[in-house]
Amino acid sequence: MKKQRILTGITTTGTPHLGNYVGAIRPAISAVSNDSESFYFLADYHGIIKCHEPDRIHRSTLEIAATWLACGLDPAKAHFYRQSDVPEIMELTWILNCMCTKGLMNRGHAYKASVAENEAKGQADLDHGITMGLFSYPVLMTADILMFNANKVPVGKDQIQHIEMARDIAQKFNHTFSQLFTLPEAVVSEETELLQGLDGRKMSKSYNNTIPLFEPEKKLRKLIMKIQTNSQEPGEPKSTEDSTLYHLYKAFATEQEVKAIEQRYAEGIAWGEMKQVLFEKINAEVAPMREKYEQLMAQPEYIEAVLQAGADRIRPMSQALLAEVRNAVGIRKL
Ligand code: TRP
């Protein structure tokens, strides 16, 4: 049987935080195995949809690549590449654009949110400021996925709709021309959405409540000390249920350790002490990776070489599929 292909992309607009690590990076790296084939890539063409700051795109690409490598991704075992190094994806995007109705894109939630924002602001033109990049970005994502005939696509809940669009577009192509594309399936893990941020809401750049993954130790401690708690005194029994500290602890501790901390909550552990316990737990996991990260960040040429090697290894696949696709649609040598 052919190995299942797992593929996911990471948009290059920010600095990875603990939520990205727990929800996406750590599970993706542990999913790398001999029984499947993993494709993890830096989605830099997605990055420029909303971010028009070149230095930020460039810096984020480096930071995210260094993060994955520092967290233990083995580029010999998983395909690790940068979207823009695989130009076949761009060609496929155009061909798929021609297979995708505008109506399908009208239903995209990112587009609809922008329209709603314009409406709320009283804009006469509801498409005001909305680029074609934003409007058609599910097609680019479809090309990312179909280019390597991925079976499983691990994503956050907000991306499920895009995977469904990818299936629709693949079906349309397969039906119209030739069965070249695999229909992908979204994989949403429990963990993916759950990590809470400093204020107890989902950890997210847009809430400004994140803890950057590779913050220096002192800053990490400071941020953890800022996590919101209720005003219960030391010695008062505490509930774990809506405790962000407990919730974060759980993401890093073994089952046994979690049980022990539940006991401490019942006994009334002081919030200050719990913060220290949490800091030590997170830091124990992150510190060795942080050291690697800092080394990698100082060697951008090395990371560049890793990404180039990643692209070199997969381009024979993308070139072969694109050749079939072009042939199928009638773009052929005379
Ligand atoms: N749009 C995705 C996100 O914001 C990132 C992404 C781009 C992606 N291309 C992809 C995810 C292909 C999965 C497959 O999270």
Beta bridge partners of 42: 10, 82
Residue 192 has pLDDT above 70, yes or no: no
CA distance 10 to 262: 35
pLDDT for the residue 218: 97
Q: Is the CB of 20 under 6 A from ligand 1?
A: no
CA distance 66 to 73: 10
pTM for the predicted model, two decimal places? 0.95
42: three-class secondary structure by DSSP: strand
Round the average pLDDT of the chain to a whole number and report it: 96
> How many other β-carbons are positioned within 10 Å of the β-carbon of residue 277?
19
Residue 21 CA to ligand 1 centre (angstroms): 16
pLDDT for 216-274, tens place per residue? Answer: 999 999 999 999 999 999 999 999 999 999 999 999 999 999 999 999 999 999 999 99
The number of the ligand 1 atom at minimal distance from the alpha carbon of 11 is 5
**Total number of residues shown for the chain:** 334
pLDDT band at 194; cut points 50, 70, 90: confident
Q: Is the CB of 186 under 6 A from ligand 1?
A: no
The number of the ligand 1 atom at minimal distance from the alpha carbon of 140 is 9
Residue 191 has pLDDT above 80, yes or no: no
**315 and 88 in contact (C-beta within 8 Å)?**
yes
pLDDT for 307-327, tens place per residue? Answer: 999 999 999 999 999 999 999
The number of the ligand 1 atom at minimal distance from the alpha carbon of 144 is 12
Q: Is the CB of 151 under 6 A from ligand 1?
A: no
Beta bridge partners of 185: 152
Determine which residue's CA is closest to atom 10 belonging to ligand 1. Answer: 9
CA distance 170 to 164: 10
Residue 215 CA to ligand 1 centre (angstroms): 25
Beta bridge partners of 7: 39
pLDDT for the residue 189: 77
Q: Is the CB of 9 under 6 A from ligand 1?
A: yes
Q: Which of 184, 192, 185, 157 is nearest to 27 (CA)?
A: 192
Q: Is the CB of 192 under 6 A from ligand 1?
A: no
pLDDT for the residue 183: 98
Q: Is the CB of 46 under 6 A from ligand 1?
A: yes
Pocket test for ligand 1, best of 141, 146, 206 (most atoms within 8 A of CB): 141
| Residue in the block written with tokens 């409406």 | 119
CA distance 289 to 282: 11
Q: Is the CB of 67 under 6 A from ligand 1?
A: no
CA distance 22 to 199: 17
Residue 206 CA to ligand 1 centre (angstroms): 17
- 103, two tokens: 């109506």
> How many other β-carbons are positioned within 10 Å of the β-carbon of residue 243?
23
Q: What are phi and psi of 154, to 5 degrees?
A: -70, 125
